[in-house]
Amino acid sequence: MNDFSSRLTQWQREHGRHHLPWQVDDAYRVWLSEIMLQQTQVTTVLDYYARFLERFPTLTDLAAAPLDDVLALWSGLGYYTRARNLHACAQAVVRDFGGHFPSDPALIATLPGIGRSTAAAIAAFAYGTRAAILDGNVKRVLSRWAGIEGFTGVKAIENQLWELAESLLPEPSSDQNIAAAAIKAHTQGLMDLGATICTPKNPTCLTCPLSADCQARLSGRQAELPTKKPKKTVPEKSTVMVLLRNANGEILLERRPPTGIWGGLWSLPEVASTLTAATAIDQRFGLTIEIEPALPEFVHVFTHYRLTITPQPAYLIGNSTLRENHTAWFSKTAALTAGIPSPLRKIINAL
């Protein structure tokens, strides 16, 4: 008897979340939500998810759309490789699977942007396939319940958690409907438990269905498990963003390379310093500009470094012809509806 899953699924049915917009029987919507929810909280995703579905009602719509439209709707969500992979994945599903997501998690995991955990979540929620997930919530719940020590990002620890997650899946049933319902409740239950009961700080063990045999609780080590990620000092970087406007008040934007920070997004040209800005813009774009007083610098925080941004306004002298196709003039409105990084949105909104 798998007592763990019995308690978990029962709890989910009584106390779990049942009305999130992606809790539907539709692989496209499940997949979209899973990608958006990678390293991103539910409250943040809700609005993006609604706007995205309005613009791309079906996977076919998404596959047929220009990448720029996808990036525009992803603007502000971060981890923009997700958006590029999302677009590529939609096209792959159309090309290789007739527009229909496969139900085998191993097959799903071959698609761009989908790893082992996301593949399992899609298979479980969309098709009731018996497959284990291992996301941040599950790592926390299982490392506490089993009393597993060691940073969960380390391979050996992660392998141990994967094995445990597999072993705790509800037993297969001869009734396919019952088996599918159990998998869905089990998978959603792990996520809901991690999000509402087994929280990073101050977990509410009194109402947890797993507390009776939770090793962390039995030893009072809820605060110590899972083992914290070893922290290191984040580098400080700085940049100057040239806010160049032509006679029409349009702003010069430059498309960033497909990989690296803000990959594929439109952003302001960056130069080494405010002093060399005019020379750099002349050399790179063949545009003659006049520098204005710099705007106040501000700090943008990433996971892995802090970036001090100095917005450097300038206006164009003479010819506004652009010789490179990765650059373009954007009206303020056009810029705000394009795929731009969050700090640029902040700069433009302040104009």
Q: How many CB atoms lie within 10 A of CB 125?
A: 26
Closest CB 324 distance from DNA, rounded Å = 22
Q: What is the DSSP letter of 81?
A: H
- Could you say which residues in the range 80-139 bind DNA, by CB under 7 A? 80-81, 85, 112-119, 121, 135-137
Binding-residue pattern over the window 152 to 181 for DNA, x denoting contact by CB under 7 A = -xxxx-------------------------
- Could you say which residues in the range 223-282 bind DNA, by CB under 7 A? 228-229, 231, 259-263
> Which residue, 289 or 348, has its beta carbon nearer to DNA?
348
Which of 11, 28, 32, 78 is the binder for DNA (CB under 7 A)? 78
For the question of residue 324 being annotated catalytic, the response is no
Among residues 224, 47, 218, the alpha carbon closest in space to that of 150 is found at: 224
Catalytic option among 14, 34, 158, 166: 34
What values do phi and psi take at 43, rounded to 5? -65, -30
Buried b (16+ CB within 10 A) or exposed e, 96-107: eeeeebbbebee
Give yes or no for residue 58 binding DNA (CB under 7 A).
Answer: no
Give yes or no for residue 150 binding DNA (CB under 7 A).
Answer: no
How many residues at the interface with DNA, by CB under 7 A? 60
Helix, strand, coil in percent for the chain, rounding step 5 = 45, 10, 40
Which of 57, 200, 249, 258 is the binder for DNA (CB under 7 A)? 200
Helices of type H across the chain: 3-15, 27-36, 42-55, 59-64, 67-74, 81-97, 105-108, 116-122, 136-146, 155-167, 176-196, 215-218, 277-285, 332-336, 342-349
Write out the residues near DNA by the rule CB under 7 A.
Answer: 17, 20, 22-23, 33-34, 37-44, 76-81, 85, 112-119, 121, 135-137, 140, 153-156, 188, 191, 194-195, 200-201, 228-229, 231, 259-263, 300-304, 341-343
Q: Which residues are known to be catalytic?
A: 34
